[in-house]
Structure 1
Amino acid sequence: MATVTNSDIPVTPTKVQLIDRLAESNGTIKASVNASDQVTLFQYDSAFADLTGPSPTHSLLLSTAGTSNNPFFHEACVFLPAHDEVYITSHLLQATKSSNFPTILISRVKLQRNDRLNGDNNVHTVEWAKLRPPPGIEMPNGGVNYEDGILFCAQGSAQTGTGGLYYMPRKAPPKAMVTNFHGRDFNSVNDVVVAKDGCIWFTDPCYGNEQDFRQRPKLPNQVYRFDPKNGDLRIVADGFGRPNGISFSPDESLCYITDTDYIHGDGSKDFTRAATIYAFDIIKVAGGPFLTNRRVFAFAAVGIPDGIKCDVYGNVYSGCGDGVEVWNPAGTLIGRIMVPGGVANFCFGKDGEMFLCAEQKLWRLQMARTTKGALLGI
């Protein structure tokens, strides 16, 4: 597929709006809507100002609005610092022929920056290539940095024996890591994170079946841990409606898992279902990790908490219906990155930047250079 180049990308100062918690709580003000077509910041606490810095800016790197309805910028959102590239998976793209199934494409966005040696980290040009997933990585969704490439969640197709976790090096064929639970196909693996010991933790809701491209579930909606050194695969958490995003605190003493049961794959919504982030303590028993003390960490202000990540200070970020909502480690909402149309997933880049996936638009937000993701710490 042809590469699209977008040059001379403007950098816009990002408006910061101070929100009075009490006034919002008693209905004096309403701060749940972004009336602008730009990224704006809602600050509930001074701690959020420390993260954004005194002069945050944003850029619209890519947009298909007005030219295509295809949601190319949906999930994964993995930044490869060595190559200054971002990899993103699309939402379902409808087939061009009635006999074909919907598909999902992978976008590779190559970044060209200004002079970082002089303190300018802005992106002035991007090269966007749409890639068909390699064999095995059928209907990709979430992803994470892994060795010199990306570990992708493959939701699988209608055929048995498909789906699971695949490692995709930059210049080699993909490698299957784990594709089944003792002979039973996963439902539709959604998101993944890699612990410091090399073990892989991932979620497995049933969205693929609800979206009519995956077989009927053969397992509950659960969370798994896989050890690639010895093949040990076990369930670490259950009892979810739709387990989705997963992340660790910087010291890996806590695990955060989002439950997006509020919306099902067929598009139906129920406001009484979970749109919740749960926190777990990670403890060792007989030398093995267990998730204990499950508790509600936060409930999304708007929509559902999808992708989730922590910064190096332990603050928790999640893509929601209003953009990216940010809580401190105590579960207090300290700020909201308001993005038109909301954000499914996002990632941290270099020196305080974030890449925000908003379906038809890909945004870049520059915050304080000391604000870094716990996953990469760059």
Structure 2
Amino acid sequence: MDLDVISIRRYSPGFASITGPGQFWYSLILSTRESSRAPLFHDVCAYLPKHNELYVSSNIVPRANSSQLPIILISRIHLNRDVTGAVQTVDWQKLRSPDNMPMPAGGAPYREGVLYCSQGNTAPDTGGLYYMPQGGRPEPVVTSFFGRDFNSVNSVAVASDGSLWFTDPCHGFERESRGPPQLPCHVYRFDPGSGDLRVVADGLGRPHGIALSPDESTVYVTDTDAVRADASRDLTRAATIYAFDVVKRSGAPFLANKRVFAYALTSIPMGVACDGAGNVWAGCADGVEIWSAGGEILGVMEVPGGVTSIAFGTGGEVFLCAEQRLWMLRLKHGAGADLMSDS
């Protein structure tokens, strides 16, 4: 595969509703492949349109001193646009994650900043969801399940009612950066207004990415159980996107009717996102695999090295994290550009 080319593999005519009838435009925004080769573009991938900034967290970066635990860095990328709104240049700032928010993984735009998933470290009472406002320090939102430490909070989706849906796999313990699990690998919902924290799904091997459908009637969760932290694989285990219905009983939300929505074509589905038409996008080893809301595979945007996280921008922009590279797609106006969700 050409390392400088993103290509399209179509499986359904419906893929044209996303890409348009012809070619789409893409650009390599940033790369470390030619220099440090550090995997700085791994997760979070939260776009703040008001500030015209993109926030991305790295994969694990080893320390110069082998006796120190590895760290995760946060990139703040300001997009400089011309009068037409097109990105011309970027200003890139690398930040060390704050001490009170160790090992940030996924995240989402929230209020006037970013809501981060902190995986925590070997110390107790670390990890959870933290809100980091523009120019401020992280503020804890929820940091335990009634006094029991979360495992390694990984991904979060913010609903229109302000509730937070998040996954909690055991990645940190497997990487020896977190203590033994105190809880199963759950999916949670937290309401910051009422303080209601509940387990909404269990029985998953390694719940990873999470997304809400546009009408918020469906929650999608990826299970990456087929690949372990040491990169070993068991192809008989889940590499699956599950769908759940959001239902209310006695006025309270529950997840029901768990079902297989899709099985990844290549390796495991990591970050997951829904566009405004309800199509489901997943970062996989071959790039971005895209399914219709009915679970039909529409096509693949083949990205060199695969994709780990996805964020929608404005005017049909899609940002793709690919470990050592950060890409931006711009879909044709009138096609996928009108379908993108800016959440």
Q: In the alignment, which residue of structure 2 is the partner of 1:187?
A: 151
Q: In the alignment, which residue of structure 2 is the partner of 1:298?
A: 262
Q: Are the equivalent residues in 2 in contact too, given 1:348–1:372 (CA < 8 A)?
A: no
TM-score by length of 1: 0.88
Q: In the alignment, which residue of structure 1 is the partner of 2:331?
A: 367
> 1:373, CA displacement in angstroms?
3.5
CA distance in 2, matches of 1:228, 1:368: 38
Select 2:295's aligned residue among 317, 327, 331.
331
Select 1:315's aligned residue among 279, 283, 306.
279
247 and 241 in structure 1: CA distance in 2 versus 1, 3 angstrom threshold: same
Select 2:58's aligned residue among 66, 84, 90.
90
CA distance in 1, matches of 2:338, 2:180: 42
What code does the residue aligned with 1:279 have?
A: A
> 1:46, CA displacement in angstroms?
2.2
Are 1:156 and 2:120 matched, yes or no?
Answer: yes
What code does the residue aligned with 1:166 have?
A: Y
Larger radius of gyration: 1
Are 1:63 and 2:31 matched, yes or no?
Answer: yes
CA distance in 2, matches of 1:373, 1:101: 39
> 1:266, CA displacement in angstroms?
2.1
1:281 aligns to what SS in structure 2?
strand
> 1:174, CA displacement in angstroms?
1.4
CA distance in 1, matches of 2:50, 2:15: 29
What code does the residue aligned with 1:307 have?
A: G
Q: In the alignment, which residue of structure 2 is the partner of 1:50?
A: 17
Q: In the alignment, which residue of structure 2 is the partner of 1:125?
A: 89
Are 1:278 and 2:242 matched, yes or no?
Answer: yes
CA distance in 2, matches of 1:324, 1:229: 35
What code does the residue aligned with 2:122 have?
A: A
CA distance in 2, matches of 1:327, 1:136: 38
Are 1:251 and 2:209 matched, yes or no?
Answer: no
CA distance in 1, matches of 2:55, 2:133: 12
Select 2:74's aligned residue among 106, 113, 131.
106
> 1:372, CA displacement in angstroms?
4.1
What code does the residue aligned with 2:109 have?
A: N
> 1:134, CA displacement in angstroms?
2.1
Structure 1, unaligned runs of 5 or more: 1-33
Q: In the alignment, which residue of structure 1 is the partner of 2:47?
A: 79
CA distance in 2, matches of 1:347, 1:47: 21
371 and 68 in structure 1: CA distance in 2 versus 1, 3 angstrom threshold: farther
CA distance in 1, matches of 2:73, 2:145: 26
Select 1:265's aligned residue among 226, 229, 237.
229
Q: In the alignment, which residue of structure 1 is the partner of 2:130?
A: 166
CA displacement 1:4-29 (0-9 Å, x = unmatched): xxxxxxxxxxxxxxxxxxxxxxxxxx
Q: Are the equivalent residues in 2 in contact too, given 1:187–1:218 (CA < 8 A)?
A: yes
CA distance in 2, matches of 1:259, 1:220: 14
> 1:35, CA displacement in angstroms?
5.0
The root-mean-square deviation of aligned C-alpha atoms, in Å, is: 1.2
CA distance in 2, matches of 1:351, 1:230: 36
CA distance in 2, matches of 1:194, 1:373: 17
1:180 aligns to what SS in structure 2?
coil
Q: In the alignment, which residue of structure 2 is the partner of 1:22?
A: none
> 1:374, CA displacement in angstroms?
3.0
1:184 aligns to what SS in structure 2?
coil
TM-score by length of 2: 0.96
> 1:47, CA displacement in angstroms?
1.8
Q: Are the equivalent residues in 2 in contact too, given 1:242–1:260 (CA < 8 A)?
A: yes
> 1:50, CA displacement in angstroms?
1.9
2:321 aligns to what SS in structure 1?
strand
Q: Are the equivalent residues in 2 in contact too, given 1:351–1:372 (CA < 8 A)?
A: no
Structure 2, unaligned runs of 5 or more: none
